[in-house]
Structure 1
Amino acid sequence: MTTILKLENLNYGYEDGGFRRQILKDLSYEFEQGQFYTILGPSGSGKTTLLSIIAGLDKQESGKIYYEGDDLDKIGLYKYRRNKIGIVFQQYNLISYLTGLENIELAMTETDNAIPKNQKEVAYALLEKFGIVKSKADR
């Protein structure tokens, strides 16, 4: 299997009322492409913090993250977030005044990748993968 994401000695913490709270300490792990992973732990154990760091929404205090072998510090978090990783939030985050199709088309324009000439058909194909037919996509 190919390692897609590698964490090396990640550390993250913060000050809380004069007390240092260490959330992640020397965390290392390799995620293999095509596999599913579960992050489990009690409330306050650092699950959301870890996911925020992996997604490039927050920065670790020390340690390294590699995506497809490239150091995120060299890629840059902006480019990584824009072109390499996506997040599915628990809350509904579509733009309410746009249709489902328009939300997907908007996401296509927000990458550095070339926008396909047949953007609308690509968007319809993505919707169909999730069981949303054309007649429902324009709502």
Structure 2
Amino acid sequence: MGLTKIRFHLEVDEDGWPPAESEGLWAEPLGDGRFRVDNTPWFVRGISAEDTVKAAPGADGVLWFMETLERSGHQTIRVIPRTDGPLNGDQQLVLDAFAPLGVAGEGFSQALRIVALDIDRDADLAAVKKLCIDGEADGRWHYEEGSVTSEWLAI
């Protein structure tokens, strides 16, 4: 069976962030309204790649997220390269910095310059977190924790 898109409602803050009211993530149908998330979210909090979620069609016919059923152990970190820093806003340089740690990701667009990182459950979390913190401290980027585990928080 192919992938399907699940929509997630987003809470937009007073500054208009995130820049959308919902986000669609690809997911693999598992049956009985269960789906395995197949990509890393840009804006959704508390969800990572390979998490198992429940979704159902809304009145609009769109498949909407209802709840998380099982966490995969993957984690999501979002990095925004600073345009006034040494990376000059370059998303690829962010991806290159994390690649030696086995962390994959994807850049969003030139307009928003967000990199969504998928941290696999086998990654060296201490090294990844140190790079996040060091990159923010030296002006390369800002980062936020989109979905992290207790192991990450304990570091």
What TM-score does the superposition give when structure 1 sets the normalisation length? Answer: 0.25
Larger radius of gyration: 1
- Relative to total residues, which structure has the larger strand share, 1 or 2? 2
- Relative to total residues, which structure has the larger helix share, 1 or 2? 1
What TM-score does the superposition give when structure 2 sets the normalisation length? Answer: 0.23
